[in-house]
């Protein structure tokens, strides 16, 4: 009954904190609080720093990045593509064709008259503001009051960035670098034809960052270009540039930031590695990096070392955490908090009744839909709008739900006195599995078809037959008071009451402690981001440790099968029906037939599938009664289904 691929979207505590990626990789590092915002752009105006984010608008720091505050009054579109400074004014561009202006350092925003389909690049020089959409360029010389087309000679394609060098304007495009010498009236391609994502003028050279070929430079205004890749990994995708004095920095797609001290002849890696760097900003001698997953990091020594500057909640008692895209719901010592900017700011407007204690959080993704579940004292609550509103879900009442986990389409709940319950219909109804009744379940995890249970004082139990029989697996687990379990691939982690964090790589047969640097061993919850394991503690907030310390490269969520690609013919059917679908990715798949109670009546496939089209035939060989059934396809951490009708 348990699915092969597990979608664990964290039951953890404290906030998703994103921590300095270069500090002591072999030990735990305490975070400053939740962070991890998708930072798309950075700029400065006087002593103020501004960060544009992928979903949550603009943030401002007045203390060199130590703390950030949301400044979105009047900003009706909070997906920020770019920021630009024009005198004392700040402009922001959003992907849905809007440009906003602030004349008071971001306190208030006013929309300009530009209303295009999708804005991709934005820059200002002199009295002119240039905006690129998917297929056009517009220019305004009156602070955005009016706009005129400036696209002659440009391809009808995406423009990543504008750069100005005297009277020359350069545009980075998927088709190369284009140049205008007449304020955008006309454009011509330069000598570099490649996908160019970023440009910078440094000394007498202009540098171009490409998606597949590293860095190029030109010393003759783009007439000719030469590679500048010595020291960069092969085929490096470079996203952004910035300069501090004579030092040139390049932000890459997954390899962190590199520095050149000799005008691009040689590059060397800084202390920031394995990061997706989307934006870089220099402010005096300070270097800021905007990353895809770890928010904003600061270096004050030319990139040798980095620290996060993502002030969120202070260190506190952490009980549970759920991560949904850019939203985090957390149960802290001070109550229930929600962050919709990945922890730069948190609000405690209590979408649950005040005083509600969340014990566990889990997420089910089916296609494009997301359901969030919270286990509380006395019930399970469900949200279908990323935590903005909640309703008590199903008939699981009068039991304290202490653990939740997800196995494909199924939600499993561990209770304090009723054992394990399962829901096959997104929590509308719950059924007792009859497993471990009268046992207080403190943690749950699934690997493939196998179930792990944490019990206070008894450690970890393991079952390979959906809970019919259990085996105690505690060798090396010096603390058997297990608060949390988390599976990542074939590995399983345990968070304990006084013994910290343990890892088993052999289905719990043996455990090894991983606590170097973790000064608070009372771990209440565990969660995983793409590159870090997070531990929520009772008294000192969230700690993180790179997954690479455990031999895990990264955690990715694979796209689900598109519902419209699943078909059944004939349907209704009398003897057999053919199930066909197309998978965009290879992976492990379970294909089963279930009745409306969620009971499996047939297994069509269990094993690896390649990319492409697949067909399976269901033959009614067991004399099933007429009625409605479902074919469930569990693959790559998600579940899709198609209804079928049997009529003899």
Question: 76-93, pLDDT tens digit by residue?
Answer: 888 887 787 777 888 887
Domain spanning 563-646: which CATH class is it, in words? mainly beta
Extract the tokens encoding 481: 């008071």
Q: What is the pLDDT of residue 621?
A: 62
Number of other CB atoms surrounding residue 103 within 10 Å: 14
d(C-alpha 150, C-alpha 314), whole Å: 49
Q: What is the pLDDT of residue 225?
A: 94
Torsional sign, CA 226, 230, 232, 233? positive
Cβ partners under 8 Å of residue 368, min gap 6: none
Q: What is the pLDDT of residue 307?
A: 78
Rg (CA), the chain: 27
Residues 423-428, mean pLDDT to the nearest whole number? 73
Residues 405-420, mean pLDDT to the nearest whole number? 80
Banded model confidence at residue 189, pLDDT cuts 50, 70, 90: very high
Asked if pLDDT for residue 326 goes beyond 70, the answer is no
Q: Which residue did the predictor score with more confidence, 327 or 250? A: 250
Q: How far is CA 123 from CA 61, 95, 210, 402, in A?
A: 21, 15, 20, 52
Residues 42-63, mean pLDDT to the nearest whole number? 81
Q: What is the pLDDT of residue 220?
A: 92
Which of 57-71, 229-243, 526-540, 575-589 has the lowest average pLDDT? Answer: 526-540
d(C-alpha 60, C-alpha 391), whole Å: 35
Q: What is the pLDDT of residue 373?
A: 78
- pLDDT digits over 111-150, tens only? 877 665 567 777 777 778 888 877 788 888 887 778 888 8
- What integer best gives the mean pLDDT of the chain? 76
Residues 462-477, mean pLDDT to the nearest whole number? 85
Q: What is the pLDDT of residue 258?
A: 93
Asked if pLDDT for residue 195 goes beyond 80, the answer is yes
CATH fold group of domain 318-550: Methylamine Dehydrogenase; Chain H (2.130.10)
Same fold, 37-151 and 318-550: yes
Extract the tokens encoding 151: 């696209």
Residues 140-166, mean pLDDT to the nearest whole number? 83
d(C-alpha 195, C-alpha 178), whole Å: 12
Residues 307-336, mean pLDDT to the nearest whole number? 47
Answer for the pair 353, 362: CB distance below 8 angstroms, yes or no.
Answer: no
Extract the tokens encoding 330: 């957390």
Extract the tokens encoding 451: 């179930």
Q: Which residue did the predictor score with more confidence, 201 or 308? A: 201
CB-based burial, 301-325: b 16+ in 10 Å, e otherwise: ebbebbbbbbbbbebbbbbbbbbbe
Which of 124-138, 463-477, 576-590 has the lowest average pLDDT? Answer: 124-138
- Judged by DSSP in three states, 68 sits in coil
Which strands form 82-86's sheet, in the order they lie side by side?
A: 82-86, 89-93, 98-102, 110-115
Banded model confidence at residue 558, pLDDT cuts 50, 70, 90: very low
Asked if pLDDT for residue 328 goes beyond 80, the answer is no
Asked if pLDDT for residue 628 goes beyond 80, the answer is no
Question: 109's torsion region: left (phi>0), alpha (psi -120 to 50) or beta?
Answer: beta
d(C-alpha 30, C-alpha 141), whole Å: 49
Q: What is the pLDDT of residue 349?
A: 39
Answer for the pair 326, 342: CB distance below 8 angstroms, yes or no.
Answer: yes
Banded model confidence at residue 617, pLDDT cuts 50, 70, 90: very high
Asked if pLDDT for residue 353 goes beyond 50, the answer is no
37-151 placed in CATH 2.130.10.10: yes
The DSSP code for 398 is S
Q: Where are the domains of the chain?
A: 37-151, 318-550, 563-646
Q: What is the pLDDT of residue 475?
A: 95
Asked if pLDDT for residue 175 goes beyond 70, the answer is yes
Extract the tokens encoding 296: 């904003």
Give percent above pLDDT 70 in the chain.
76
Answer for the pair 483, 495: CB distance below 8 angstroms, yes or no.
Answer: yes
d(C-alpha 619, C-alpha 386), whole Å: 40
Asked if pLDDT for residue 173 goes beyond 80, the answer is yes
CB-based burial, 205-240: b 16+ in 10 Å, e otherwise: bbbbbbbebbbbbbeebbeebeebbebbeeebbbbb
Q: Which of 34-38, 495-499, 551-555, 626-630 has the highest mean pLDDT?
A: 495-499
Scanning the structure block, which residue is given the tokens 């400053």? 32
Q: What is the pLDDT of residue 35?
A: 40
Cβ partners under 8 Å of residue 220, min gap 6: none
Which strands form 196-202's sheet, in the order they lie side by side?
A: 196-202, 205-210, 215-218, 226-227
Which of 195-204, 427-436, 452-461 has the lowest average pLDDT? Answer: 427-436
Quick one: which of 164, 67, 158, 72 has its CA closest to 123? 164
Angle, alpha carbons 165-167-168 (nearest 5°)? 55
């Amino acid at each position: 009954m348990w699915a092969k691929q597990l979608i664990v979207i964290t039951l953890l505590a404290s906030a998703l904190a994103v921590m300095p990626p270069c500090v002591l990789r072999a030990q735990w590092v305490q975070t400053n609080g939740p962070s991890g915002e998708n930072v798309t752009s950075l700029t400065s105006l006087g002593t103020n720093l501004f960060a544009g984010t992928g979903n949550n608008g603009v943030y401002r720091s007045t203390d060199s990045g130590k703390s950030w505050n949301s400044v979105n009054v009047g900003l009706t579109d909070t997906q920020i593509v770019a920021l630009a400074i024009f005198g004392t004014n700040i402009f922001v561009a959003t992907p849905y064709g809007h440009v906003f202006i602030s004349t008071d350092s971001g306190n208030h925003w006013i929309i300009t008259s530009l209303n295009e389909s999708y804005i991709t690049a934005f820059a200002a020089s002199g009295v002119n503001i240039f905006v690129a959409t998917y297929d056009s360029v517009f220019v305004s010389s009156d602070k955005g009051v009016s706009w005129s087309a400036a696209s002659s000679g440009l391809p009808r394609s995406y423009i990543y960035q504008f750069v100005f060098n005297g009277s020359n304007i350069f545009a980075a495009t998927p088709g190369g670098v284009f140049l205008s010498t007449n304020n955008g009236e006309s454009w011509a391609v330069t000598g570099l034809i490649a996908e160019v994502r970023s440009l910078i003028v440094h000394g007498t050279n202009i540098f171009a960052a490409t998606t597949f070929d590293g860095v190029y430079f030109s010393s003759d205004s783009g007439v000719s270009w030469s590679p500048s890749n010595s020291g960069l990994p092969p085929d490096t995708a470079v996203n952004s540039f910035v300069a501090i004095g004579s030092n040139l920095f390049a932000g890459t797609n997954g390899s962190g930031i590199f520095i050149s001290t000799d005008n691009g002849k040689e590059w060397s890696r800084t202390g920031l590695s394995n990061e997706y760097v989307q934006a870089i900003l220099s402010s005096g001698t300070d270097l800021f990096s905007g990353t895809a997953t770890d928010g904003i990091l600061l270096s004050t020594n030319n990139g040798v070392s980095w620290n996060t500057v993502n002030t969120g909640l202070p260190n506190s008692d952490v009980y549970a955490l759920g991560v949904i895209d850019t939203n985090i719901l957390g149960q802290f010592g001070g109550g229930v908090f929600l962050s919709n900017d990945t922890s730069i700011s948190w609000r405690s407007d209590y979408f649950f009744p005040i005083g509600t204690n969340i014990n566990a959080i889990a997420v089910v993704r089916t296609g494009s839909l997301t359901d969030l579940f919270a286990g509380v004292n006395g019930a399970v609550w469900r949200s279908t709008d990323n935590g903005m509103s909640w309703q008590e879900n199903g008939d699981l009442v009068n039991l304290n739900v202490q653990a939740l986990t997800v196995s494909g389409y199924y939600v499993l709940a561990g209770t304090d006195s009723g054992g394990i319950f399962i829901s096959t219909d997104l929590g509308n109804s719950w059924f007792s599995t009859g497993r471990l009744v009268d046992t207080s379940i403190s943690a749950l995890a699934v690997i493939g078809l196998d179930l792990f249970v944490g019990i206070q004082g008894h450690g970890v139990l393991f079952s390979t037959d959906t809970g019919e029989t259990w085996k105690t697996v505690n060798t090396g687990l010096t603390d058997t008071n297990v608060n949390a379990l988390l599976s990542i691939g074939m590995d399983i982690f345990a968070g304990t009451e006084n013994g910290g964090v343990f890892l088993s790589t052999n289905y719990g047969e043996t455990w090894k402690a991983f606590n170097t640097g973790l000064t608070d061993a009372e771990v209440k919850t565990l969660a995983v981001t793409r590159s870090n394991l997070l531990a929520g503690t009772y008294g000192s907030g969230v700690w993180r440790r790179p997954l690479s310390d455990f031999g895990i490269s990264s955690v990715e969520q694979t796209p689900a099968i598109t519902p419209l690609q699943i078909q059944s013919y004939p349907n209704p059917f009398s003897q057999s029906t053919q199930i066909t679908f197309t998978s965009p990715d290879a992976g492990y798949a379970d294909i089963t037939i279930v009745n409306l109670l969620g009971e499996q009546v047939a297994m069509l496939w269990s094993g690896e599938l390649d990319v492409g089209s697949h067909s399976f035939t269901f033959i009614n060989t067991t004399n099933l009664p007429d009625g409605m059934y479902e074919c469930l396809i569990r693959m790559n951490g998600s579940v899709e289904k198609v209804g079928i009708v049997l009529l003899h």
